[in-house]
Amino acid sequence: MKATRGINRITLIGLLLMVTFLVTAMVPNLAVTAAKSTIVQPGNQLPPDSIVTSDGQTLQAQEFSLTTKGESGFAGTNSTGSPTRRVELSEKQFPSAPSLFRGSVIGTDGRTRVTGTTTYPNRAIVFLVITFPSGNSYTCSGFFYGPRTVATAGHCVYEPDEGGWASAIKVYPGRNGTSAPYSYTTMHRAFSVTGWTSNGDPNYDYGAIQTNSAKGNTVGWFGYYWQASNTFSGTYYVRGYPGDKTYGTMWTMSGAVKKVNANRLWYSIDSYGGQSGSPFFKNHPTYGWAAAGIHTYGVGLSPYTTYNSATRITQTRYNNMKTWKNYAYP
């Protein structure tokens, strides 16, 4: 019996030593595994809708917690929208801003020219002449959505192949060929998001311009809104300044939303390079003439490659746009 107990003790001690060895060997590996899982977390990276400015500011998107779904447009303090200073232009013509898919005419061209550029909301749509650090100049479109804030495409304010942020932008509200009925203002600063400036992701291709003159108080501005629903009913318009038409002339076409995802809206409304930054808008029952998106691309953009498309205004993007609208000047 004593011999049996001795063997049992030896066996027990041996088992304990083995367990101790295994635990000691496993703990460092467990610690390494845990460390590896926390080295890079998505929360440590800036969300793609995080704000960046041309003067070096970066703000995370989740810092803003606005909850409203839209803002109405405003027809301007000058109720007739009368031109304040009509300027006849004689300037060099520039190509439309560079982008992967500049815009497309799908089948027969359905666009018509807008000659009444001094009526609202047309006078709040702007023709942009953009100069980049490369020295190259291009044209785009945009729209006032506040007294001194113009929404446009991200690639109209930031192009890495052209040196990054635009160095100068002229903003012509309601331009009509060689006539600039409200003259022009210039860029004070520009805005976009890291999804575009850092990653070049077309899903985050949107931005804005803060202008030196508050011409929105004269020409008025668009409403803008977001919605959780993927049902975009009614007639929408794309209206801006295409590069395949007479320089500086405004063109428009309307149609229905064909496809939707979390970041974009697709349609068969014709466009062309130079219309990047145009409002994708309708006459909303609550917000008036209001944008649901910013036109940015022609056919070829996945997953609906046979349609033109706009960057969709989501809740986060609405918050960003409102932040830009309220950004301190100067």
Q: Is 276 a catalytic residue?
A: yes
What pLDDT, in 10s, does the model give residues 273-302?
999 999 999 999 999 999 999 999 999 999
**Average per-residue pLDDT for the chain:** 85
pLDDT (0 to 100) of residue 99: 61
Burial class from Cβ neighbours inside 10 Å (0-12, 13-18, 19+) for residue 285 reads exposed
Beta-ladder partners of 211: 187
Tell me the mean pLDDT in the region 219-224. 98
Beta-ladder partners of 221: 74
121: left (phi over 0), alpha (psi -120 to 50) or beta: alpha
- Weakest mean pLDDT among 8-12, 250-254, 255-259: 8-12
| Residue range 51-63+100-325, CATH number | 2.40.10.10
pLDDT band of residue 138 (cuts 50, 70, 90) is very high
pLDDT band of residue 70 (cuts 50, 70, 90) is very high
pLDDT (0 to 100) of residue 184: 97
In the chain, where the domains are located:
51-63+100-325
pLDDT (0 to 100) of residue 243: 93
Q: How many Å apart are CA 314 and CA 296, to the nearest integer?
A: 15
pLDDT band of residue 78 (cuts 50, 70, 90) is low
Share of the chain above pLDDT 90, in %: 74
Given a cut of 80, is residue 198 above it in pLDDT? yes
Tally the C-alpha atoms within 13 A of residue 31's C-alpha that lie toward its C-beta: 6
What pLDDT, in 10s, does the model give residues 150-164?
999 999 999 999 999
pTM, whole model, 2 decimals? 0.84
> Is the peptide bond between 330 and the residue preceding it cis, with omega within 30 degrees of 0?
yes
Q: Is 295 a catalytic residue?
A: no
Helices (H), 259-301: none
What pLDDT, in 10s, does the model give residues 30-66?
222 222 222 223 444 889 999 999 999 998 765 555 6
**How do strand 185-193 and strand 149-152 relate by DSSP bridges?**
unpaired
Residue 289's identity, in one-letter code, is W
- Weakest mean pLDDT among 25-29, 238-242, 298-302: 25-29
Residue pair 52/190 in contact by the 8 Å Cβ criterion: no
Catalytic residue (choose from 276, 278, 284, 295): 276
Catalytic residue (choose from 155, 192, 271, 295): 155
Share of the chain above pLDDT 70, in %: 81
Q: How many Å apart are CA 330 and CA 326, to the nearest integer?
A: 11
pLDDT (0 to 100) of residue 63: 52
